[in-house]
A and B are shown apart, each in its own frame.
Chain A
Amino acid sequence: SQQGEEDPQALSIQEGENATMNCSYKTSINNLQWYRQNSGRGLVHLILIRSNEREKHSGRLRVTLDTSKKSSSLLITASRAADTASYFCATDRGTGNQFYFGTGTSLTVIP
């Protein structure tokens, strides 16, 4: 079964704007990861945040994690047309590095 749910399901913004997407999950985790999937391509890892971390940055990406609310958010600043893709959160729970993906947010950045 899916571990997480992303919100919104779809998001459309103008180039240069910021995009925020959220992920909620159900059980305790070791870490939470965000992946991007372009049309017709495989999944690409973006960023990993551990359960004892609250915020992490990587270039134009900012991820927050609130374990008390079992939620995470991904902020993409100054979006570009090339950011158009589906974004998935994946939770790593248990003891075996098992990654469970959410339902995804489809982001469209309009040039």
Chain B
Amino acid sequence: EAGVAQSPRYKIIEKRQSVAFWCNPISGHATLYWYQQILGQGPKLLIQFQNNGVVDDSQLPKDRFSAERLKGVDSTLKIQPAKLEDSAVYLCASSLGLANTEAFFGQGTRLTVV
């Protein structure tokens, strides 16, 4: 079974530039998550989709971050404009969305803002 695919693996941008990350979840997984993991910390949930609807985006900095999952499959996360403190690993995860099931994570995209 193919896992969660993310691209790119690494990205370096200058502050105030924009960047986009792409995620392809495991086939059949209704729920998709984007997490931000700053070095030395645990992953922080940014946004959760159930199919193509948003379940929770309470921790998404909406003035600069946006995410979409148009057809209920792939998802993109965008940052515009980027700040130095956005340097982190951005993890995408998916799950069946049923009770008491685990999330499967991609390898992540390491973003460095200089």
Binding site for B on A (CB under 8 A): 1-2, 30-31, 33, 35, 41-45, 48, 50, 88, 90, 92, 96-104
**B87 near A: Cβ within 8 Å?**
no
B56 in the interface, Cβ–Cβ < 8 Å?
Answer: yes
Main secondary structure of the interface of A (DSSP, over half): strand
Question: A43 to B105, Cβ gap below 8 A?
Answer: yes
Which B24-79 residues sit within 8 Å CB-CB of chain A?
Answer: 31, 33, 35, 41-45, 48, 50, 55-56, 59
Taking the closest CB of chain A, its distance from the CB of B63, in whole angstroms, is: 19
Interchain residue pairs with CB less than 8 A apart (14): A2-B42, A30-B100, A35-B105, A41-B107, A42-B107, A45-B104, A96-B55, A96-B56, A97-B97, A97-B98, A97-B101, A98-B45, A101-B44, A102-B42
Interface residues, chain B, with chain A CB atoms under 8 Å away: 4, 31, 33, 35, 41-45, 48, 50, 55-56, 59, 91, 93, 95, 97-108
Contact B105 A99 (CB under 8 A): no
Number of A-B contacts defined by CB within 8 Å: 62
The residue that B105 contacts in the complex, of A31, A44, A97, with Cβ under 8 A, is A44
Q: Which residue of B lies closest to A49 (CB)?
A: B100
Residues of A within 8 A of B55 (CB): 96, 98
| Nearest CB on A from B73, distance (A) | 18
Once the chains are docked, how many angstroms separate the CA of A92 from the CA of B55? 14
Closest to A99 in B: B103
Query: Which one, B56, B99, B102, contacts A98 given CB within 8 A?
Result: B56
The answer to whether A43 touches B100 (Cβ under 8 A) is no
Return B35 CB to nearest CB of chain A, in Å: 8
A40 to chain B, nearest CB (A): 8
The closest CB in chain B to the CB of A48 belongs to: B102
Which of B42, B98, B102, B107 is the one whose CB lies under 8 Å from A45? Answer: B102
